[in-house]
Structure 1
Amino acid sequence: HYRYQPPGIPPPVVYRPFLLSPPKPKASCPKNLVPTFSSAPVAPLPTIPSPPNPTVQLTTPPAPLATITPEVLPVETSAPATLSVSTFTTTVSAVETGPGCLNVPLEPSTTKTDSSCLSRPLDLVFIIDSSRSVRPSEFEKVKIFLADMVDTLDVGADATRVAVVNYASTVKTEFLLKDHFNKPNLKKAISRIEPLATGTMTGLAIKTAVSEAFTEQSGARPRPRNIAKVAIIVTDGRPQDQVEEVSAAARASGVEIYAVGVDRADMRSLQLMASVPLEDHVFYVETYGVIEKLTSKFRETLCGVDPCAVGHDCEHICVNSNASYYCKCRNGYILNADKKTCSLKLKEVKVEVVEDPCKCEARLSFQKQTQATIQQLTARNILPVVSDKNSSSDHRRV
């Protein structure tokens, strides 16, 4: 409501303007709106007998004289709405600083449009099946899946490096870990991948990835740097060679294997290839049309969670180390054999006895007083006894 009371004119006049637009239940306003007030030129008020010729200024008036309390209403933003109340004109203009209704401040958006994550550094190799069973349109969806995966990763020379191994009856390394260190170049290289011929030599593809893609010469980081090595296998058929021994050797060398089966993929073969626990490393989708849905799952897995933030058994300090953690102790402590608890270093234990000079002076004063008292008691009680003995001996002599 708008209440306006000219000076000295009782009673106040209450104006009830019409609604700017009918409220729409459960519907947000079309734009972020907050009212701003701009004053049109003010015409003088009509002449009133008492007091004569009142005037109104739109500068800030005393609170009792004029109070403007706009009601929170939805506003259409096609054109500013104007309310005319006598000769006082208020223009409500739409300002994009709210979530769609008047008098509601805009909250900062917490939704991130960038789907990338600061993942732990990885040496990541995709091993993709492009045999005859994979139709060209389906292979294009595999490439879209790879491009989406690249978007979710923190790609860089010091972050995640990506390589692709393409296989059918033969194996082709499309590009190595050292070839591309940014997302645009990676996605461009993925778009140029072409399917191969017949056959599904999955075991040979895994062996090639370990011997060629996961080497330091190809861009893999040295073992002392503790960079995780990850292989993601995408296949829709049964392997035509042995995968159990090859996969076991790859896992023993430090490669973590994820197996993605599509359509006619053999679940037993996927389980033989994947790392443990199998429920976290084996995935299956019915068609290539839904393989893109695995992107979010891999994003959660590869981005990882800080184990120190989730929970740990360290007594003092937890240190995150590539999806794992280790414990440290504060200064002056050593880590116990259980690698979790800490003990105080005995050689560094120092005991300092600090004497309060005031207490020392008081103690010395007390000791002096005690000694003086003892001397006085000795002089009073012991010496007379000695004199009595002397007198008795003298008496005996007499």
Structure 2
Amino acid sequence: MTMKLKLIFGVTECKSTVQDLLIIEDVSTSVGPRNYGKMKDFVVDTIRNISISSKKTNVAFMVFSDTAEVVFHLNTYRDNKTSIMEAIDSQTHTGGNSFLGDAIKLATSEVFTETNGDRSDVPNVVLLLTDGYSDANEDVRSSIDGLKAKAEVFVMTVTDQVDNTTIDLVASSPALKHVFHIDASETARSIKNVTSLQICTDHMGR
């Protein structure tokens, strides 16, 4: 996203960007109930700070473990932040294996489509919360380029032990700007910048 500056009156005006945001939660056994609780609380707090409406940010939500599931699409709760927060808050830690590749394929084929609310004129952003472990790494490698072609991918690691190789593969480049840890002091601010980014225009007199 390019930030354009126009100098006219000496006043700074800011407006929130519009985006289609997909949040993907890893609910597999390796994440664990305690880390999952932190993950869910973080996501709900993140949603609370986003301007959500049909003309602003739209949100979709997925979970994955043995299988991947779209809990709701970009156009399911387009004008209802409360329903989004309730749907995310009601999600539980199911446990099971971790098929990250299936989640990536489903996001690419089903979430970012016009039928399910994807808007062609706004940026697509993915926030993936995971430890990076997958029971089918080949599926991750073969499918991630398709998702990256449609969206900018940010990864939040949620455990102390993570698969850095897979995380760096999944995240958009550079990884330094697209990978965060849930317990890092700067993460909340960084994710807020990603999901509630403002473009500011400085106006100065001539």
Fold conserved (TM > 0.5)? yes
Counterparts of 1:345-364 in structure 2, within 5 Å, are none
- Does the 8 Å contact 2:132/2:164 carry over to 1? no
Please name the residue that 1:266 is paired with.
163
Q: Deviations over 1:115-168 (max 9, x none)?
A: xx9531111111110001222233222111111111121111111111111001
Please name the residue that 2:49 is paired with.
152
Q: Deviations over 1:168-191 (max 9, x none)?
A: 111111111111122211111111
CA, structure 1 residues 220+291, in 2 after alignment: closer, same or farther (shift >3 Å)?
farther
Q: Aligned to 1:139, which of 33, 36, 47? A: 36
- Does the 8 Å contact 1:144/1:292 carry over to 2? no
Q: Deviations over 1:351-380 (max 9, x none)?
A: xxxxxxxxxxxxxxxxxxxxxxxxxxxxxx
Please name the residue that 1:238 is paired with.
133
The alpha-carbon deviation at position 219 of structure 1 amounts to 1.2
Counterparts of 1:26-65 in structure 2, within 5 Å, are none
Please name the residue that 1:127 is paired with.
24
Counterparts of 1:151-230 in structure 2, within 5 Å, are 151-180=48-77, 181-221=79-119, 223=120, 225=121, 227-230=122-125
Matched residues in 1 for 2:194 and 2:17: separation?
A: 10
Q: Aligned to 2:193, which of 300, 309, 314? A: 300
Unaligned runs of 5+ in 1: 1-116, 310-398
Amino acid at match of 1:234: L
Aligned length: 186
Where 1:306 maps in the other structure, the secondary structure is strand
The alpha-carbon deviation at position 256 of structure 1 amounts to 0.7
Please name the residue that 2:3 is paired with.
none
Amino acid at match of 1:126: I
- Does the 8 Å contact 1:261/1:267 carry over to 2? no
Please name the residue that 1:256 is paired with.
152
Amino acid at match of 2:154: Y
Counterparts of 1:104-123 in structure 2, within 5 Å, are 119-123=16-20
Matched residues in 1 for 2:111 and 2:96: separation?
A: 23
Where 2:16 maps in the other structure, the secondary structure is coil
Amino acid at match of 2:129: V
Please name the residue that 1:5 is paired with.
none
Q: Deviations over 1:51-105 (max 9, x none)?
A: xxxxxxxxxxxxxxxxxxxxxxxxxxxxxxxxxxxxxxxxxxxxxxxxxxxxxxx
CA, structure 1 residues 144+170, in 2 after alignment: closer, same or farther (shift >3 Å)?
same
- Does the 8 Å contact 1:165/1:175 carry over to 2? yes
- Does the 8 Å contact 2:16/2:199 carry over to 1? no
Quick check: which has more Rg, 1 or 2? 1
Matched residues in 1 for 2:59 and 2:151: separation?
A: 14
CA, structure 1 residues 187+292, in 2 after alignment: closer, same or farther (shift >3 Å)?
farther
CA, structure 1 residues 236+127, in 2 after alignment: closer, same or farther (shift >3 Å)?
same
The alpha-carbon deviation at position 228 of structure 1 amounts to 0.6
TM-score, length of structure 1 as denominator length = 0.44
CA, structure 1 residues 173+233, in 2 after alignment: closer, same or farther (shift >3 Å)?
same
Q: Deviations over 1:212-265 (max 9, x none)?
A: 1111111111x2x2x11111111124122232231112112x211011122211
Runs of 4+ aligned residues of structure 1 deviating over 3 Å after TM superposition are none
Unaligned runs of 5+ in 2: 1-13
If asked which structure has higher relative contact order (CA below 8 Å, sep 6+), I would say: 2
Matched residues in 1 for 2:111 and 2:186: separation?
A: 27
Where 1:132 maps in the other structure, the secondary structure is coil
Matched residues in 2 for 1:201 and 1:215: separation?
A: 22
Q: Deviations over 1:314-344 (max 9, x none)?
A: xxxxxxxxxxxxxxxxxxxxxxxxxxxxxxx
Once superposed, what is the RMSD of the aligned Cα atoms?
2.2
Deviates more, 1:230-239 or 1:200-209: 230-239
